[in-house]
Structure 1
Amino acid sequence: MTELTVRRFRARPPAATDRVLGLAIAGGMLRAAVADGTGRILGEASEPLDNLDASGVLRRLTQLAHLASTRAGLAHLDVKAAGIAFGGPVDPVRGLTILSPRSPGFEQYPLAALIEERLGIPTVLENDARAAAFGEAVFGAARGCQTVIYLHLGTGVGGGIIVDGRLVYGASNTAGEIGHIVVTAGGPTCSCGKPGHLEAYASEPAIIARVLEALLLAPDDPGQQLLAGQLTTRRLFEFARLSPTIRRVLDDTVQMLGLAIASLIATLNPEAVIIGGPVAEAGHDLLEPLQARVRQFAYPASLRRVRVAFAELGADAPVIGAVALALART
């Protein structure tokens, strides 16, 4: 595999004539997109991940890359580099996936080298949350910013940190694991087994589970009528004005998020804190009280130039992030 100094990525404006490939294995989908230097997707292809193992994913991702190239009007895969956003922990320096929560065979799997070998182009691998963070910094809600915190609120709570235009990795590549910030000394248990972590309050499954638990103790609450349908955080935030029980749980969630973000702002002094993922679909019912909590808890001097906003790239964030990472290699 081509030597890739991942830690030198910078959010720089690439040339519009650049052509790169973004690949994403995230959210239960496989996706390939050919894009130009402005992040505009010229051609793409996708399919469900289903129950494919690592070798099956490699085969299908290669086929999707060629299909995306054809749809972009390229006679062959004439791109300068490829980026991969992977839904699981990775070693970005060695181009290895550590494991996948969805697919077998990704333990210490040299995905970047194998894609590079099959496609013949320099390839870089990144965790999907960090890729999304980089995408938002280059093409999304934080474009133009050099120091950015990105939180992804979905089945878990992940994120990415960019300082002086560079992704931050830390000593063991775990920088940006924002879901494991401690927000209380007790509280519910996180997926990692430790109590009081942000993920146990702010991931979508955690929010829904805590609402259901609270409604069991409040049989006369109007929120009981939601139990007949599918629950999402968006529905909960919309209904909260009618349900004191749901409102209390969501207020607690927003407070914990505000505490975590205030601590990150004091530590990193960012220009932007960007919130993405399914929980962010709650819209202003979430954003406005969250901004108020951040103002309440954060160090005033650090608040002067920071804005807290929603992500702009939506479900495209991982693949656009992979594009941005590939462009950073050109």
Structure 2
Amino acid sequence: MTATPHFVAIEIGGTKLQLCVGTAEGSIVDRRRFLVDRERGAEGIREQIAQGVPELIAKWQPAAIGVGYGGPVDWRTGRIWRSYHIAGWSDFPLGDWLREQTGLPVYVENDSNLATLGEAICGAGKGMNPVFYTNMGSGVGGGLAVDGRIYHGAPPGEMELGHLRLHGPGRIVEDDCSGWSLDKRIREAVATAPQSKLAQLVAADPGEEARHLTAALEAGDPVAQALIVTQAGHFANALGVVVQLLHPEVIVLGGGVSLIGEPLRAAVAERLPTFIMDVFHPGPRVRLAGLREDSVPVGALLMAADRFQISKTTH
């Protein structure tokens, strides 16, 4: 009896690094999670990978590695096109570097593409087609799955939702919808409302201010409620473009900001129809990511298994 093959999934984001091991069906069986030190840049992340992956390989003997990178990549070669959040990644041959480190086949994708695949096959988009996924985290990304497969545009084309210029050439969606932009708005809001519940939470534990929104919303804080309305309006504006052009059956909201949960999802769903033409009403379903923070590694496992199998049949 042949043992079930395992695969390594690596998620490289702007704030966290995840090293996971799992099956071809996307089940995670082991995990290492690290915080990213932005000041150390890509070199610091590569050191974390080089220290953490050998242990997982020795333990699980995986067949291949799938990587989700938080930015534009050449998925055919594994080379990073551009780094927008962490210095030192632009034009880096990530696939080749990892193959040299591990001796294993390595497949690299944009992280939002992999999250889309994970949610389409195993998460909130299961059974629906097409599936559009978008993350609100360090940045804002997007991906489209059609018939259960990632849609790729002409190189280096991806669903770069966060870089839409809806308000002119000098402003992109990330400026209004990323986790960092939300943190900034929270700091500005609590400065003018220091007695609010949100201000009290931020004062007691500053930094990454958006994580306090859930508790403030549960307390009925009007400052937090107003911030959610603003965030949802900005995001629904961008998603209206997605609906007009791609007509997904479902839009899946993921990333760290989506962990605010139902208040954010409901606010986005309520505002989305105001940004799409009447004939498209009520618009696609809007759902929270079913895999939560595992959307990318699950997608990486599915992708690695699929491409590893394809490579076996073509060689």
Q: Residue deviations 1:122-147, cap 9 Å, x none?
A: 32111222222222222222123341
How many residues align structurally?
Answer: 302
Written as runs of structure 1 = structure 2, the 5 A alignment for 1:133-212 is: 133-184=116-167, 194-195=170-171, 197-212=172-187
Q: Provide the residue aligned with 1:61 in structure 2.
A: 49
Instruction: Quote how far apart the aligned CAs of 1:285 are.
Output: 1.4
Instruction: Quote how far apart the aligned CAs of 1:313 are.
Output: 1.9
Q: Which residue among 289, 300, 304 is the counterpart of 1:322? A: 300
Alignment pair present for 1:41 and 2:28: yes
Instruction: Quote how far apart the aligned CAs of 1:276 are.
Output: 0.7
Q: Provide the residue aligned with 1:239 in structure 2.
A: 216
Q: Provide the residue aligned with 2:104 in structure 1.
A: 121
Q: Provide the residue aligned with 1:307 in structure 2.
A: 285
Instruction: Quote how far apart the aligned CAs of 1:181 are.
Output: 2.8
Written as runs of structure 1 = structure 2, the 5 A alignment for 1:268-279 is: 268-279=246-257
Tell whether the 8 Å contact from 2:14 to 2:138 is kept in structure 1 after alignment.
no
> What secondary structure does 1:328 align onto?
helix
Deviates more, 1:320-329 or 1:90-99: 90-99
- TM-score w.r.t. the length of structure 1 is 0.77
Q: Residue deviations 1:83-105, cap 9 Å, x none?
A: 11123332222211235467654
Larger fraction in helix: 2
Alpha-carbon separation, structure 1, partners of 2:224 and 2:282: 33
Letter in 1 for 2:225: R
Q: Residue deviations 1:22-70, cap 9 Å, x none?
A: 2222354443323212211233444455466656655653553332234
Instruction: Quote how far apart the aligned CAs of 1:221 are.
Output: 6.1
> What secondary structure does 1:85 align onto?
strand
Q: Provide the residue aligned with 1:263 in structure 2.
A: 241
Alpha-carbon separation, structure 1, partners of 2:162 and 2:274: 21
Change in 2 beyond 3 A, CA 1:211/1:273: same
Alpha-carbon separation, structure 1, partners of 2:266 and 2:202: 26
> What secondary structure does 1:107 align onto?
coil
Instruction: Quote how far apart the aligned CAs of 1:210 are.
Output: 2.3
Alpha-carbon separation, structure 2, partners of 1:280 and 1:143: 19
Instruction: Quote how far apart the aligned CAs of 1:307 are.
Output: 1.6
Aligned-residue CA RMSD in angstroms? 3.2
Letter in 1 for 2:216: F
Change in 2 beyond 3 A, CA 1:106/1:252: closer
Tell whether the 8 Å contact from 1:204 to 1:232 is kept in structure 2 after alignment.
no
Change in 2 beyond 3 A, CA 1:116/1:180: same
Alpha-carbon separation, structure 1, partners of 2:247 and 2:16: 35
Q: Provide the residue aligned with 1:25 in structure 2.
A: 12
Instruction: Quote how far apart the aligned CAs of 1:275 are.
Output: 0.4
Tell whether the 8 Å contact from 1:58 to 1:115 is kept in structure 2 after alignment.
no
Q: Return 5+ residue gaps in structure 2 as ranges.
A: 310-315
> What secondary structure does 1:39 align onto?
coil
Change in 2 beyond 3 A, CA 1:277/1:120: same
- TM-score w.r.t. the length of structure 2 is 0.80
Tell whether the 8 Å contact from 1:265 to 1:303 is kept in structure 2 after alignment.
no
Q: How many percent of aligned residue pairs carry the same amino acid?
A: 29
